[in-house]
């Protein structure tokens, strides 16, 4: 029994010694290593000249200090330096308060916090040495080998090399200046992640804006913006999620993508898009839409997918649209399987069952090319199985067929048509534009038709035309139609159809931008104000002996 009690007593004593030792180590006291002069009374040591103190693995230097032994705290004055012997962290300031129990250092005035190649400067900094976290407020600046970051408040988590900047954040590097109010910066990979509104301006004047934050790899120069817009001198790209690689001059957008070519005044929309700035080449798909801006009008073009190329050579300046193409302009509309819009000559070429409508006219052919001049329809060239249908003032269908056909427009309306090869025409003869007298049906190798306000006014035939007139009372549906007649006006797309296909989210010109905010200079406190603040906290200046 005695032996068992001895063992239990020895175990409890050992546990108490170890626990007390660990507690003492955890809450070790500040040590005075040296000072030129040391006086003390009532538990307060006054240290003057070349003061050196130590707390665990931390060395503390200053010109003078007050050491409160019972509280295990010190107030440090003049040329304060706190150096960690294990971590590469060093801090300097004019004044500091150090708590040996919590390992909290409160540094004030001309604070410099250094961790290898990263330097933080501020006027007010709290350094939690237990968690190795530094907090600053009332403005701070962080400088590393690439970037300079400033903000009103910040938190530097040294162990994971992460700095959180808040309020009036500005990131500056040789290529960009970024502004936001919430930024997390990783000092080792040198990446910046923001939340909320973020605005960026490059040295070339390009802008990158995001409403819902961004991710920026400052070394690889890669960006990811959310609700982002990138604008250059020649283009503007927008998307819900926008990726940009500066070194590759490459953009990639997802959801509500738009790409504006400012020189061509062409804007492309879609679900997903890619754009190569140097090549001026873009690919957009998913309910794609094109808006071609004219001074007085806008041309809309919808399709499944779009490719835009604006290279140096004329042959490399085009827009391709694939599958289910629809065209809408104030004076025309059209549909086809695919389309090529050549920027160099403002021509629109339609393929696979193309059909165009202009006012009360319909044109179909195996292939057709429209030319735009002075922002209006100028002429159209049609080839193979060409069929033109126009409605007169009382809704009769005038019809023309031929191998090839050239149509000319005046003020957006059909002005004349020249038919070449196997020409056929069928048009209604009217009295006073209100009463149908009969049908003129003519076969001729060449036919020329002249229009006025969209109605046929004159027809001229080539050599030896074969014509037939059918009076009104003998007109039937069969003899009033040329072979191949197919009136498809109900298929004509409208602006409502375009909006149902895709209603683009427009750019808000009044959107908030942090670069538009006025710069406010914060006035730092004077030495007199600092002294008064210290006196309020209990510090009293030393009285000089007479």
CATH number at residue 385: 2.60.450
Give the pLDDT score at 179: 94
Q: Which domain holds residue 440?
A: 354-487
Per DSSP, 29 falls in state P
**90-104, 452-466, 501-515: lowest mean pLDDT where?**
452-466
> Is the pTM for the entire model greater than 0.85?
no
Of residues 456, 465, 338, the one with CA closest to residue 389: 456
Q: Flag whether pLDDT at 541 surpasses 70.
A: no
Q: What confidence tens digit (pLDDT) does each residue in 338-373 have?
A: 999 898 888 989 988 899 887 778 989 998 998 988
Residue 455 maps to a domain: yes
Per DSSP, 221 falls in state T
Q: What confidence tens digit (pLDDT) does each residue in 309-338 have?
A: 887 777 788 989 988 899 998 878 999 999
Q: Which of residues 59 and 277 earns the better pLDDT score?
A: 59
Q: How far apart are CA 282 and CA 278, in angstroms?
A: 11
Looking at the structure of the chain, the number of domains it has is: 1
Give the pLDDT score at 126: 96
Q: Is residue 538 very low, low, confident or very high in pLDDT (cuts 50, 70, 90)?
A: low
Of residues 292, 291, 287, 263, the one with CA closest to residue 277: 263
Q: How far apart are CA 370 and CA 341, in angstroms?
A: 9
Q: What confidence tens digit (pLDDT) does each residue in 376-405 have?
A: 788 989 999 899 898 888 888 989 899 999
Give the pLDDT score at 62: 96
**294-298, 454-458, 542-546: lowest mean pLDDT where?**
542-546
Q: How far apart are CA 393 and CA 429, in angstroms?
A: 11
Residue 372 maps to a domain: yes
Residue 50 maps to a domain: no
Q: What confidence tens digit (pLDDT) does each residue in 14-25 have?
A: 433 334 333 334
Neighbour tally for 5: CB within 10 Å: 9
Residue 25 maps to a domain: no
Q: Flag whether pLDDT at 77 surpasses 90.
A: yes
Residue 183 maps to a domain: no
The two structure tokens encoding residue 402? 């031929």
Q: Flag whether pLDDT at 1 surpasses 90.
A: no
Per DSSP, 514 falls in state G
Query: Which residues are CB-contacts of 241 (< 8 A; sequence separation ≥ 6)?
Result: 224, 225, 226, 228, 253, 254, 255
**Mean pLDDT across the chain:** 86
The arithmetic mean of pLDDT across residues 100-127, rounded, is 94
The two structure tokens encoding residue 459? 């027809």
CB 190 within 8 A of CB 143: no
Q: What confidence tens digit (pLDDT) does each residue in 489-498 have?
A: 999 999 999 9
Give the pLDDT score at 136: 95
Residue 362 maps to a domain: yes
Per DSSP, 529 falls in state H
């Amino acid at each position: 029994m005695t032996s068992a009690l001895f063992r239990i007593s020895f175990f409890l004593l050992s546990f108490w010694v170890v626990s007390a030792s660990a507690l003492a180590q955890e809450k070790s006291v500040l040590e005075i290593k040296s000072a030129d002069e040391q006086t003390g009374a009532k538990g307060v040591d006054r240290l003057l000249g070349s003061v050196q103190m130590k707390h665990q693995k931390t060395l503390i230097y200053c010109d003078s200090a007050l050491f409160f032994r019972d509280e295990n705290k010190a107030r440090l004055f003049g040329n304060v330096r706190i150096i960690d012997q294990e971590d590469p962290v060093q801090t300097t300031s004019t004044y500091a308060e150090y708590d040996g129990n919590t390992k909290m250092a409160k540094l004030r005035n001309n604070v410099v916090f250094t961790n290898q190649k990263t330097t933080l400067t501020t006027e007010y900094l709290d350094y939690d040495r237990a968690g190795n976290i530094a907090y600053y407020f009332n403005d701070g600046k962080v400088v590393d080998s690439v970037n300079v970051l400033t903000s009103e408040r910040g938190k530097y988590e040294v162990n994971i090399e992460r700095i959180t900047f808040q309020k009036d954040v500005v990131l500056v590097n040789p290529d960009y200046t970024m502004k936001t109010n919430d930024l997390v910066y990783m000092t080792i990979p040198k990446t910046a992640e923001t939340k909320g509104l973020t605005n960026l301006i490059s040295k070339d004047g390009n802008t990158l804006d995001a409403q819902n934050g961004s991710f920026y790899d400052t070394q690889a120069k890669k960006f990811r913006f959310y609700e982002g817009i990138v604008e250059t001198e020649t283009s503007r790209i927008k998307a819900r999620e926008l990726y940009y690689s500066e070194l590759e001059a490459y953009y990639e957008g997802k959801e509500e993508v738009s790409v504006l070519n400012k020189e061509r005044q062409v804007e492309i929309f879609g679900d997903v898009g890619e754009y190569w700035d140097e090549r001026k080449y873009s690919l957009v798909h998913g309910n794609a839409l094109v808006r071609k801006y004219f001074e007085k009008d806008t041309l809309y073009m919808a399709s499944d997918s779009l490719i835009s190329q604006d290279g140096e050579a004329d042959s490399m300046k085009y827009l391709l649209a694939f599958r289910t193409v629809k065209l809408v302009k104030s004076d025309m509309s059209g549909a086809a399987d695919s389309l090529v819009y050549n920027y160099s000559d403002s021509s629109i070429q339609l393929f696979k069952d193309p059909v165009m409508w202009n006012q009360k006219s319909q044109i179909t052919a195996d292939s057709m090319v429209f030319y735009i001049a002075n922002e209006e329809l100028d002429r159209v060239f049609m080839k193979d199985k060409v069929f033109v249908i126009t409605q007169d003032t009382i809704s009769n269908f005038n019809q023309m067929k031929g191998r090839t056909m050239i149509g000319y427009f005046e003020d957006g309306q059909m002005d004349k048509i020249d038919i070449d090869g196997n020409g056929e025409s069928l048009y209604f003869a009217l009295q006073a534009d209100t009463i149908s007298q009969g049908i003129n049906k003519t076969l001729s190798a060449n036919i020329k038709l002249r229009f006025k306000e969209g109605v046929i006014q004159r027809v001229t035939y080539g050599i030896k035309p074969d014509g037939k007139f059918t009076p009104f009372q003998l007109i039937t549906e069969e003899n009033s139609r040329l072979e191949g007649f197919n009136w498809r006006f109900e298929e004509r797309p409208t602006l409502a159809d375009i909006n149902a296909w895709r209603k683009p989210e427009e750019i808000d010109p009044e959107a908030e931008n942090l670069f538009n905010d006025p710069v406010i200079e914060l006035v730092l406190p004077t030495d007199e104000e600092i002294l008064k603040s210290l006196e309020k906290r209990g510090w009293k200046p030393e009285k000089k002996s007479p």
